[in-house]
Each structure stands twice: as structure tokens, then as C-alpha cells.
Amino acid sequence: MKSFTFLLHNLYHIGGTTRAVTTLANTLSEHGHDVTILTVFKLGTTPAYPVNETINIQSIIDYSDKRNFVPLVYNRIRKYTPLCKPRIIMAEEPGIQQFSSYIEHKLIQAIQQVNTDYLVSTRASYNVLASEYANVETIAMEHMHFNAYSESVKQQLLKAYAHVDYVTTLTPQDQTHYKQYLPEDKVLLLPNIIPFDAHQATQRKQHKTNRITALGRFEYEKGFDLLIAAVSHIQHKLRDQQYTVHIYGSGSEKSNLQQQITNQQLSDMITLHDAINDTESVLNPSRITVIPSRSEGFGMVILEAMAANNAVVSFDAPIGPATLLTHGQNALVASCFDTESLANHIITAIEDASLREQLIAHGHETLKQYQPDAVYNKLATQLPLT
């Protein structure tokens, strides 16, 4: 069986990519593969999501060790002078302030030392580094869709991807984009995995309350400002129905979102919460999940909501929602980015219990495509695993 090393940003941080990579690593491990997770940063003692005991966890920069002050010194110097800036990690990389020339050097060393059959890199800059320095077969895993990148980043990635062995995309649409520039057999379709137990889902139905939930980073592309605007259109109906809205996440837009809630006098019905790793605990009591994103590479929250018996209301945003959702079947889908239409769909999902149950049932059918065995078998048809 082929062995895998996953190069992950921070195994100890809550996030969609972290959860998706951890779940894939667990699935490969359960199918008999030797798996290592190589986390660039370690900022805790317990991974954000459960990791199989058979998986080997290694770190490059261990901030949980208080004696490890060298990276901090380099980052401080980098803050005030360009002397310690990284050479290859892209300026557009999320959290670029976390990187210095020292950390980049340690990253390159770690990549060069990987000796499993495959190295799977999971971020744009890591994909670039792997393309140049890996000594084993490389799989560049994409968690954003191609058109979400700037033109300069697109060109840098395409140049790097000419030198990796495989590129994985989350959706068929994104796979088509990359096939315009790369050999077809190099571009693999590898959607995210979500384990789903239909029997448990049925049992959870009895614990629903009048809650609307949304989850994600508090950043522009997630569109939570659009959700707040939609709620303002229907606030009186929501109060009459005794519904509240709960948004979970963290990010740079939090203060702006809170100000918008205050300005529109919605503080009694919309609450911003910290990000959580146990999404089931907030989705299980919810009846409706709203996906107000301007852009989604895949849309893991959509599948998590379906698994938790939530009716999904979303914009028809590229690429994830547009790929996963069909209006009137497994979701109610509003045109981008019509907040009045989104608001009306929310009210419809509240008031039409029969339709809500139909959406949930079709959501369960959608989930079958993203079960661990289904995704593993899909991967096995595209990539040598033995």
C-alpha cells in the first residue's frame, strides 16, 4: 500500500482545510496506508480534530515548546525589516506574517526529508515549495477554486504545477479549469469527505429548536454581511416565529459584522460566536443553515448541515454551492447576491415544514457521494494506491 505524508499548515487550528485533510488522512489510514501528518506549526497539544492512533504526527515549528524562541525572533525582525522575509512563500499567502526566511528554510528542509511514496501539500505556497524541493511523488491539493486566485498567483501556481505529479481539485468544474492548462491525467477530482450515519441523523431530528446557523471565517468572501442584511429584511417575521440567528467563526471582519448588527438593531436576534471544532453541537439543534458566501472552493458546511438535518439556504455562489446544490431539491438557492431573495428563501424554509423535510431527505442522498469509502474508491480510480 502506498504511504502518504500530508503537509498541513496547523493541525491544531480549527478550519475547513484542517478538518478535510484530517478526515482524508484517517480514511487512508483505515484502508491500510501508512500516513504521516507534517504540520508546519504546532500551537497546542491536541489536534483540532480527531486523528487515528496509527497516524504519525510531526511538526516543523513547535510553538507549544516555550523554549522554541528562534522562530519568534526571526518573525520580530521580519516585522521591522525586509531582511528576514521568505523568498518563495507568496505575499498573498493567508497569514503571511507568520512566515520568515527561517521558517521557510525549515519548511524546505522538512519537504526534502519526506520519504513516503507521496507528499500531499495542502496550501498554495506549500504546493509551490513541494514542486521545487520534494524528492518523492507530489500531490498538490487545492482547497480554493482556480478563479479565486489573483492573476499573478494563478501564473505562479500553473508554473509550479507543471512540476508536480498530480493536482487535486474539489469539484468537477475546477478540474475542468485546471485541465485547460495541465495534462488531463495529472488533474484529479478529490472531494472532501463527510462521514454520515443516517440512523443517527434520524434520531437527532427530535432535538430541533428555532435556530438559524451559519459557520465560517469572518472574512469578506464568506458573506456574513449579506446574511445580516437578509435578516434585516425579515426581522419582524423572524421575531414572530421566535427564530434566532447564530454565526460561528473568527476573522478580521468580526468587529464590522458586530457593528452592522448593532446599527440595524438586530442584537436581540443575531449573535456572533467564536469558532468551534465541534460543528455538530451547533448544527444538531438548528433547523436551517444559511450559506451566504460570495465564493466557496467546496462548501464543507453545506454537507455538515445536511448531515445534521438542516434545511440549507444559499446563494448560487461559485464553485461549491453551485456544484453541490439544486434549488428546490436539496436546498433553496438564491441568485448572487440578492439579499431579499435569500431572506424570502429563509422564510419559506421556516414556514413550509413539508418542503423542509424534502430538502433534508435529498440532502441525505447528496451525502452518499462524499462518504469515506465512496471518496476513497474515486481516488483509487485516478491514483495508484498499491
Task: Read off φ and ψ for residue 89, nearest 5 degrees.
Answer: -55, 130
Write out the residue range of the structural domain in which residue 183 sits. 4-193+371-380
Whichever domain contains 14, its CATH number is 3.40.50.2000
Alpha-carbon radius of gyration of the chain = 21
Q: Are residues 118 and 214 in the same domain?
A: no
Residues 188 and 202 in one domain: no
Statement to judge: residues 146 and 183 lie in one domain:
yes
Nearest CA to 141 out of 293, 50, 17 is that of 17
Q: Tell me, yes or no, whether 258 and 187 share the same domain.
A: no
Task: Give the whole-angstrom CA distance, residue 286 versus residue 305.
Answer: 9
Query: Is the domain of 204 the same as that of 167?
Result: no
Residue 228 lies in a domain: yes
Residue 385 lies in a domain: no
Instruction: Name the grid cell of 38.
Output: 507534517
Q: Cα separation of 27 and 107, whole Å?
A: 26
Same domain, 252 and 173: no
Q: What is the pLDDT of residue 80?
A: 79
- Residue 6 CB-half CA count within 13 A: 30
Each residue of 343-357: b (16+ CB within 10 Å) or e?
A: bbbbbebbeeeeebe
Q: Apex CA 18: angle with CA 132 and CA 138, to 5°?
A: 25
Q: Please check whether residue 204 is in contact with residue 308, taking contact to mean a CB–CB distance below 8 angstroms.
A: yes
pLDDT surpassing 80 at residue 205: no
Average pLDDT of 141-152? 91
Q: How many CB atoms lie within 10 A of CB 60?
A: 17
State the Cα–Cα distance between residues 138 and 161, nearest whole angstrom: 10
Tell me if 9 sits within 8 A of 107, measured CB to CB: no
* pLDDT, tens only, 333-372: 999 999 999 999 999 999 999 999 999 999 999 999 999 9
If you average pLDDT over every residue of the chain, what do you get?
94
Whole-prediction pTM value? 0.88
Same domain, 263 and 335: yes
Q: Residue 269 is which amino acid?
A: M
The fraction of the chain above a pLDDT of 90, given in percent, is 81
In a domain, 20, yes or no: yes
* One domain, residues 319 and 356: yes
pLDDT confidence tier of residue 202, bands split at 50, 70 and 90: low
pLDDT at residue 158 greater than cutoff 90? yes
Take residue 74 and report the three cell numbers written for it: 526571526
In-domain check, residue 386: no
Same domain assignment for residues 17 and 130: yes
Residue 223 pLDDT greater than 90, yes or no: yes
pLDDT for 204 beyond 70: no
Per-residue pLDDT at 70 = 85
pLDDT score for 157: 96
154 and 241 in one domain?
no
In a domain, 18, yes or no: yes
How far apart are alpha carbons 170 and 172 in whole angstroms? 7
Contacts of 4 (CB under 8 A, 6+ apart): 25, 28, 33, 34, 35, 36, 116, 117, 118, 120
Report DSSP state, residue 13. S
Spell out the residues 6+ positions from residue 133 whose beta carbon is closer than 8 angstroms to its own. Answer: 108, 111, 112
DSSP 296: B
Q: pLDDT (tens digit, 9 = 90+) per residue, 294-310?
A: 988 888 999 999 999 99
Residues 186, 299, single domain; the answer is no
Same domain, 161 and 285: no
Of the pLDDT bands very low, low, confident and very high (cuts 50, 70, 90), residue 203 is low
Identify whether 64 is part of a domain: yes
Cell numbers for 374: 465512496
What pLDDT does residue 94 have?
A: 86
- Angle value at C-alpha 24, between 20 and 26, nearest 5 degrees: 120
For residue 287, tell me if it sits in a domain.
yes
Please, what's the b/e burial string for 95-109 (b: 16 or more CB within 10 A of its CB; e: otherwise)?
A: eeebbbbbbbebbbe
Contact 5, 114 (CB under 8 A): yes
pLDDT at 18 over 90: yes
For strands 118-121 and 4-10, give the pairing.
Answer: parallel
- Total of domains in the chain: 2
